[in-house]
Structure 1
Amino acid sequence: MLGIALGLASSAAWGVSDFLGGLQSRRISALTVLLVSQPVGLVLALVFALVAGGDPLSARDMAIAVGAGAAVVLALGAFYRAMALGSVSVVATVGALGVPVPVAAGLIQGDRPAAIQAAGAVVGITGVVLVAREPDPEWRAAGRTSVGLAALAALGFGTFFLGLDAASGPEPAWTIVAARAGGVATLLIAAAFARPSMRIERSLLPALLAIGCFDVLANSLFAVATNHGLLSLVAVAGSLYSAVTVLLARFVLGERLAPPRRAGVFVALAGVAMIAAGS
């Protein structure tokens, strides 16, 4: 039960972070958003790890965590750019379709959820698919490019979930630090080639700082969740960040929820309830 609760908490934090990231990417470049927000997360993760203590990572776990961090910043770059180009709610839900990657990996590794939990995972994924399903005009509004970028981001997010689980031990604080360091290093390499403008209006800084804070909070909650629950189930709970982003887009940006999407949100929540009921 704790693993599912932490997975849901991580989805809420990711949902807020993604919404803010997509929103700011409409005003400055996605790379600039990441160059400001990700180092904030690295500093917070490092401070927490130093306070919490714990054993250092093995070379294997560090390599996996660094690779996962690199994968997720590339995914976030594609994700933010997609939201800058198209509908935030459409892009957010397509981005959640990477959840089958960690679910399948968990099952291959030996996860054996109870029958109601397995059914809940299927229902939860179905809900995410329903949320992503939109009438043709909405998809055209999002544009092929933004949907393609969102699909690429989904693969990166799924890979990150898998890597974070593989590298996280009983004390995952240093795993988060390694992942954030890998992400920041990747961004610095990208910045050396792209040379993005770092001229940022002061009014944008609070949102950019909040992105980093919510993102590292979500990463930490998910890493702990994988130590208290099956990856195949925790990943489904964590994937509900798309529903949070969709709701924020509805109430903040006024993006309308079509009936299939509204139904999808309720179906996804029902799936999580089934998973929790079997815990």
Structure 2
Amino acid sequence: MIGPLLALGSALTWGVADFSGGMLSRRLPSAAVVGVSQACSLVALLVLLPFMPAPTSSGWIGWAIVAGLAGSGALVCFYRALAFGTVGVVSPISALAVSIPVIAGFAAGEQPRTLQVAGIVAAITGAVLASGPELRGEQHVKQQAIWYALAAAVGFGITMLAIARGSASSPMFTMVGMRSASVAAFGVAAIVLRSVGGVRPGDLPKLALLGLGDVTANALLGFATTMGLLSITAVLSALYPVVTVGLAAVILHERMKPVQIAGVVLAFVGVGLIAGG
């Protein structure tokens, strides 16, 4: 049960990080929030680097680069989508990212038990519903929001798959390579634009915590995939919308819609089925 528990820990941490990142992106450019927070997490990883066990092979390198570029690009697209549309449209689309690692797991020959397959379906459906999909009445949603959300979904899905593949050699070195690739890309952009997006020294503590939360979630997913089926661990880690919605209800006093409550319940049913299988 260690693998599924780590995957659920990843969902919890991702949910908190997404909520925090969304709050920070209300007053700072999304690219600046992602770039600076990831640079802070890279510093922390480099401090830990001498204490990390050596990887079993160099297979993590390519996957880490893919995960870094796809993940950072997906986060920027996700925050841009929120700038054009509402959470009720953007989140359900981006939550479908989990379909990529699930399909990859099945294609690789994974065969979850019948109850676990039912749990996977229930958990994915619950995560989407918990995001609050209500397309009716969203008259002011721009087409850009849909395209950015779709790009985010593809990027998140590729990131989850790349983390899993790289973690087969070394979960922690995959994190280092992933962050190095994304920070390098944002660094080049900052040099070209001659700007860090208006980030001030006072913003660094919050951005550092955000970066640590995101990389912790990634690492938990990486370790989880080495202890269980990718099709199951990916689904459990993708329950982060449930956490984000819960935080919005508690902190921002946003009222949960009936469809969101049903989604949360269904997600928990899915977790129970996966564990019971």
Give me the TM-score of the superposition, normalised by structure 2: 0.91
One-letter identity of the residue aligned with 1:19:
F
Residues 229-240 of structure 1: pairs in structure 2 closer than 5 A:
229-240=228-239
Residues 3-152 of structure 1: pairs in structure 2 closer than 5 A:
3-55=3-55, 57-58=57-58, 60-88=59-87, 90-132=89-131, 133-137=133-137, 139-140=138-139, 143-152=142-151
**SS of match in other structure, 2:66:** helix
- Alignment coverage as a number of residue pairs: 276
Q: Which residue of 1 aligns with 2:175?
A: 176
Per-residue deviation, 1:7: 0.5
Q: Contact 1:78–1:150 at 8 Å: present in 2 too?
A: yes
Per-residue deviation, 1:142: 5.4
Q: Is 1:264 matched up with 2:267?
A: no
Q: Which residue of 2 aligns with 1:226?
A: 225
Per-residue deviation, 1:246: 1.4
Summarize the Cα distance change of 1:164–1:246 in structure 2 as closer, same or farther, 3 Å threshold. same
Task: Write out per-residue CA displacement over residues 118-153 of structure 1, whole angstroms, 9 at most, x where no aligned residue.
Answer: 11001111212323421522x446544334322211
Aligned-partner Cα distance in 2 for 1:203–1:227: 38
Task: Write out per-residue CA displacement over residues 149-208 of structure 1, whole angstroms, 9 at most, x where no aligned residue.
Answer: 222111101000111111112641111101111111222233344444443345533321
Higher mean C-alpha displacement, 147-156 vs 16-25: 147-156
Per-residue deviation, 1:26: 1.1
Aligned-partner Cα distance in 2 for 1:41–1:91: 26
Higher mean C-alpha displacement, 260-269 vs 75-84: 75-84
**5+ residue gaps, structure 2:** none
Q: Is 1:207 matched up with 2:206?
A: yes
One-letter identity of the residue aligned with 2:43:
V
**5+ residue gaps, structure 1:** none
Q: Is 1:191 matched up with 2:176?
A: no
One-letter identity of the residue aligned with 2:214:
D
Identity percentage over the alignment? 41
Superposed structure 1 runs of 4+ greater than 6 Å apart: none
Higher mean C-alpha displacement, 233-242 vs 74-83: 74-83
Q: Contact 1:170–1:227 at 8 Å: present in 2 too?
A: no
Q: Contact 1:25–1:84 at 8 Å: present in 2 too?
A: no
Per-residue deviation, 1:250: 2.2
One-letter identity of the residue aligned with 1:40:
C
Aligned-partner Cα distance in 2 for 1:191–1:220: 27
Q: Contact 2:56–2:169 at 8 Å: present in 1 too?
A: no
Higher mean C-alpha displacement, 262-271 vs 79-88: 79-88
Aligned-partner Cα distance in 1 for 2:206–2:117: 38
